[in-house]
Amino acid sequence: MFNLLLLSCAMFALGLDAYVLAGLLPDIATSFDITEGAAAQVVTAFTLCYAVAAPALATALAGQPIRRILVLAMSLFVLGNLLSVVVGNFTLLLISRCIAGAGAGVFAPVAAAVASNLVTKERKGRALGIILGGMGTGTVVGVPIGIQIANAFGWQSTLLLVALMGSITAIGILAKLPTIQVPPPPSLRARVNMLIHPRVAIVVTVTLFTAIASLGLYTYIAPLLKGLGLASDPTIYLWVWGAGGVTAAFSVGHIIDRTNRPGSVLLIILTILAIALLCLPLTDSGPALLSFIPFLLWGAMGWSSLAPQQHVLLDLQPEHGSIAVALNSSANYLGSAIGAMLGGVLLGNDLLGPTTLPIAASAIMIIAISLQLIVIAAKVGIKA
């Protein structure tokens, strides 16, 4: 149990690092005298390297003892965060975020594999729940706390906290994790090769566009709240978004199991998500309590969209399920990187303002919904 909690704490640090910078963009922009759109590229750097560089590193580390891989990955993650604290210019900050993202991308799938091998077959679901719960808690609890720490001591202090947590867990893994054998995470080549299957490709493309809209927009949640006049206490909206996400992520599996129609469940999720994003600009004119609803639905639908996709992919590729699921995860983080980059371009060139970005995001969701309708019509998913 100790080792599961240790890995869960490490995932807490990863979840905090992945999402907290979206709330710190105004401070980062001020520190480097750049626009918030330019500052948002720190998120692009992290998520892009999580999606692309991490699988390449996984190939390079194949054959190494699992404990060594975990310690090296966490050390890379810690190094990236420490460099983020001390760098003197924005280019070096982007490089440091790339390093942190690559370390996180290697660590997360290996930690999940280790967790499932630390317990009996009957307890694997619970073990994975503890690991995912660590990352979820890092978002729901860690991000608001991290922003409060940044408000008090500067944005660098939050990343220093992340580095400290990562260092403690790396030492614990080195000292306490037993020697076990687990399959290495799929390589970048294996993930790309999976795209030759048309059915897999269209399912993963739905994930890509959903992430561009949802996670890409989340990158700009701080300027969005400011533009809506809700920035007097943005922390509560981050709580609402994260709480909705974690609750739905743990609940959607029961809905899928009961209906046995993951494709249709996803279509409903995508539709609600598109409506929620479209309603975000309206929250500045209604009662305060009602302003929470679009943020709650946004978090809930965005986080719960991956589980139906994993079910469909496992049905489509039962013999290569781990590769298909890993490809879907890469598409999710790649979409986040693309969304953050596109948002920066739109804001930086005054093509859109923070409060009109949700409209663009909902338009992208229409593309995802259209693709999902094709998936269902063509019966791509088993019992879609």
d(CA 113, CA 127): 10
Fold of the CATH domain 186-384: Growth Hormone; Chain: A; (1.20.1250)
Tens digits of residue pLDDT in 219-248 = 999 889 888 887 666 788 888 898 888 888
pLDDT category of residue 383 using cuts at 50, 70 and 90: very low
Tens digits of residue pLDDT in 283-332 = 776 666 788 999 999 999 998 888 888 788 878 777 776 677 778 888 88
Residue 18 in tokens: 């992945």
Residue 253 in tokens: 């599996």
Identical fold, 1-185 and 186-384: yes
Cβ atoms of 244 and 300 closer than 8 Å: yes
For residue 249, pLDDT over 80 is answered with no
d(CA 277, CA 267): 15
What is the pLDDT, as a whole number, of residue 53? 75
Superfamily name and number for 1-185? MFS general substrate transporter like domains (1.20.1250.20)
Could you give the dihedral angle defined by the CA atoms of residues 222, 275, 141 and 304, in that order, rounded to the nearest 10 degrees? -140
The answer to which of 191-195, 277-281, 327-331 has the lowest mean pLDDT is 191-195
pLDDT category of residue 279 using cuts at 50, 70 and 90: very high
**Which of 103-107, 193-197, 211-215, 248-252 reaches the highest mean pLDDT?**
211-215
Task: Show me where the domains of the chain are located.
Answer: 1-185, 186-384
